[in-house]
Amino acid sequence: MLKEVSTKVITEECSITGKETASSNAFDNTVAVLMEASGLDKEISEELVEDFCGQAIKLSCTIKKHIMGNNLMDAGLLLHQLKGSAGNVRAQKIAQYALEAELAIGILDHERCSGILKKIDELLAEFLKRTKEE
Amino acid sequence: MISNIMIIDDSPIDRKVIRKIIEKRLADIQVFEAEDGLKLNESLVCHGIHMCILDILMPIKDGFQVLQDMKKDSYLADIPVIVCTGIEDRKAIEQALILGAYDYFSKPLSEEAMKISLPLKVKNAIELMKKSQGISYLSYHDVLTGLYNRRFYEEEIDRINVKKKSSYFHYYG
């Protein structure tokens, strides 16, 4: 059951290539909050959020593979990393989901964790969406 | 004079965020990065690092082990280390400070940390290291000639003996 769920999520998730330039409303809002919090200029803040999107996609794929392989310790470490990075670039919803997934891993609730990772993927897709439309 | 700092963190994004914040607020800074604590000691020596920012939770070798290794190495023991970890992880902060960390900050970085405290902590750590290097220079060099003095050679021999687990050298006089 877990394997089926995870495989599905991985297939869907890895279809986000990360090659698109991130520039949706969610992206712009995150950049604005990061600029306000850090005092960094717009160009650098955009670069940081773009880099975060690329990294988060890779992390999400790897976390799912670890869950499939029942390697929960590494999955937990990467979720912790995702949570911290999302918090640093002010991608607050992703940070919140990463925290929930970390807690789900802690109680061995694989299915809940996979569900949360799917939500993270959807948020990342949102970040990457607008440029595709442009 | 350029100051060299090393950021040791397994997250490339976190390294970059910290790097950008420091580069924006401090002048004459050269930032080096490491994604883990492996072979770090050689790198710290060869880049002449003045201070480190060290993540605690890392795979392969965690921040505590890195900190312990640095404190055991007489060439690196004086380098101030600022540790970073999750905001809820008070035990890790306490443990790092017990092991000799200079200071700490929590992740995710707060607005106050990004704009004020992190750059200032880094600046203070660099100044501390430079003062320490100045004192060290005076205690190991002859003021008149600028050559290494007797104390330097005695301690260097001790270091070699410890490293080779031998006692080939004896002091006279």
Same domain, B85 and B159: no
Residue B138: predicted pLDDT: 93
Per residue in B73-94, pLDDT tens? 888 999 999 999 876 778 999 9
Task: Give the model confidence (pLDDT) of A6-40 as tens digits.
Answer: 444 444 445 454 444 554 588 899 999 999 999 99
For A109, the token pair is 């609730």
Residue B82: CATH number of its domain: 3.40.50.2300
pTM summary value: 0.83
Chain A positions touching B12 (Cβ under 8 A) are: 51, 55
pLDDT at B33: 96
Whether B134 and B147 map to the same domain: the answer is no
Supply the pLDDT for residue B48.
Answer: 94
B133 and B109, same structural domain? yes
The minimal CB distance from A89 to the residues B17, B57, B59 is found for B17
Band (B171; pLDDT cuts 50, 70, 90) = low
Residues of B in contact with A51 (CB under 8 A): 12-13, 16
* pLDDT at A132 > cutoff 60: no
User: Do B46 and B106 belong together in one domain?
Assistant: yes
Q: Which domain holds residue B164?
A: 142-173
ipTM summary value: 0.79
Which of A38, A39, A85 lies closest to B14 in CB terms?
A85
Length of chain A: 134
Asked if residue B151 and residue B106 are part of one domain, the reply reads no
A80, A94, A96, A127: best to mutate for the B interface, most B CBs within 10 A: A80
Determine the Cα–Cα distance for residues A96 and A86; give it in Å rounded to an integer. 9
Average confidence (pLDDT) over A76-90? 93
Question: Of A25, A6, A18, which Cα lies nearest the Cα of A93?
Answer: A25
- Domain spans of chain A, in order of start: 2-11+41-133
Domain count for chain B, please give it.
2
Residues B89, B147: one domain? no
Whether B126 and B153 share a structural domain = no
